[in-house]
Each structure stands twice: as structure tokens, then as C-alpha cells.
Amino acid sequence: MSEDTKKPGSAREKATAKRRNQILEAAVMCFLERGYHQTGVRDIAARAGVSLGNLYNHFRGKHDVLVEIAMLERRELEPFLKVLNSNAPAPKVLKKFIRAYANYLAAPENVILTLEISSEAVRQQDIARLFVENRARLTEALEEVVRRGVEAGDLRAVPDPLQASQLVIEVLEGSAYRSVLSETPMSKIAGSMEDFILSSLLARR
């Protein structure tokens, strides 16, 4: 092995990473267009422009590809966690989070891919673990905002901040699913959705 291939970030490593990402992107497109169960490894390889053998050099099969996509979903959540970790007053943080997450969910591909991952999570324990962990990080960060808002008197004293946080996320994601199914843009329901969530949590003055 040459010295170049031993170095982190070598040409070979970069080429491998590029090919791996190429396969993941192809898999995402296939899952969006056909669904996870209707997609075969040959479909992914063809979409990625690689041989079947090349695909197997990177992933043992379609399931491992989905595991990697579920792991990458964590990166998608980072901007929302950053919003929720702000020290601004809870109502302001809550409103910013609602708008940011609704904007993310306005892209049908994000909703469809989440549905594909969650439906497979019901059947596969390792997918379920990743999916639950991802959602727990988001819910727990939102729970902290709710608790802080209740203590400051800005939010009403809800019976269970964790349950309230889960409901907020479910309202957002459920509205996004309905948006995709009914082909109604999220922009048309975002205002009512935000009003519903805020009116449920803001303290009565």
C-alpha cells in the first residue's frame, strides 16, 4: 500500500466516500419513487451507475442502506436542535421551531422518506432503535423548552411537558402527511397549525 492511500482523506478514501454517497443518493431516489419494498438492490445499483458487485463492496444489502439513511437523518435534525437549544424566551423559541420544522416538512420527499423509514422501523429492531433515538433527541430538546417556559410563566402548566412536546411534533408531522396525501401545500395550513399549537401552550394572560 502506498503512503498516499494510508493518509486520512487520501484519493482512494475520497473516491470510496463519493461512491458510497452516490449509492445512498440513488437509494433515496428509488425509495421515494418506488417505496422501500418495491426497490431491489439492482434498482439502486442501476440508478447509482455502479455494478451490483460494487454496491456490495459498500453495503451488504438494501437493509444496510436504509440503516445508513436513518443514521444520516440525525444530521437533518441538527438545525432544529440548535433552534431548541437557544436561550431566548420559550414562546419565541417555540414559534421559530414550529416554522423551521414546518418548512422542512413542506418538502414532500422529506415526509415520504420519513414514512418509509418509520414503516420499516416497525419490522426491523435496528431501524426502530435509530428512529426512536432520533425522535427522542428532538422531543427531549422541545420538552426542555416547554419546562423552561412553564417555569418562567410564559407557557401554561401542562400536565406532562414530555407528552405535550410529543404532541407538538405529532401535529406538525401529521399535518405534513395530510399535506402530501391531499396535495395541499404546507404553506396553506401552516398558519392554522402554528395558531393551534401556540394557543394550546401559551399562558393565559
Do 1 and 53 belong together in one domain? Answer: yes
Top-confidence residue, 107 or 12: 107
Residue 204: inside a domain: yes
pLDDT band, residue 29 (cuts 50/70/90): very high
Residue 66: inside a domain: no
How much is the pLDDT for 115? 82
Q: What is the mean pLDDT of the chain?
A: 89
Q: Maximum CA pair distance of the chain? A: 71
Do 133 and 187 belong together in one domain? Answer: yes
Phi then psi for 8, rounded to 5 degrees?
-60, 140
User: Structural domain tally of the chain?
Assistant: 2
Residue 11: inside a domain: yes
Phi then psi for 198, rounded to 5 degrees?
-65, -40
Do 119 and 205 belong together in one domain? Answer: yes
Mean predicted confidence (pLDDT) in 24-41: 90
Is residue 170 over pLDDT 60? yes
Please give the share of the chain, as a percent, with pLDDT higher than 70.
95
Do 45 and 80 belong together in one domain? Answer: no
pLDDT band, residue 6 (cuts 50/70/90): very low
Query: CA distances (Å), 193 to each of 25, 85, 89, 93, 131, in order?
Result: 32, 22, 21, 16, 24
7 HSE (CA, 13 A, CB side): 6
Do 42 and 78 belong together in one domain? Answer: no
How much is the pLDDT for 127? 83
How much is the pLDDT for 8? 53
Is residue 97 over pLDDT 90? yes
Do 55 and 77 belong together in one domain? Answer: no
Do 54 and 87 belong together in one domain? Answer: no
Is residue 2 over pLDDT 50? no
Domain with residue 2: its CATH number is: 1.10.10.60
Domain extent, residue 11, equals: 1-59
Do 205 and 139 belong together in one domain? Answer: yes
Do 39 and 97 belong together in one domain? Answer: no
Top-confidence residue, 67 or 97: 97
Domain with residue 146: its CATH number is: 1.10.357.10
Q: How far apart are CA 10 and CA 18, in angstroms?
A: 12
Do 122 and 178 belong together in one domain? Answer: yes
How much is the pLDDT for 51? 93
Do 6 and 84 belong together in one domain? Answer: no
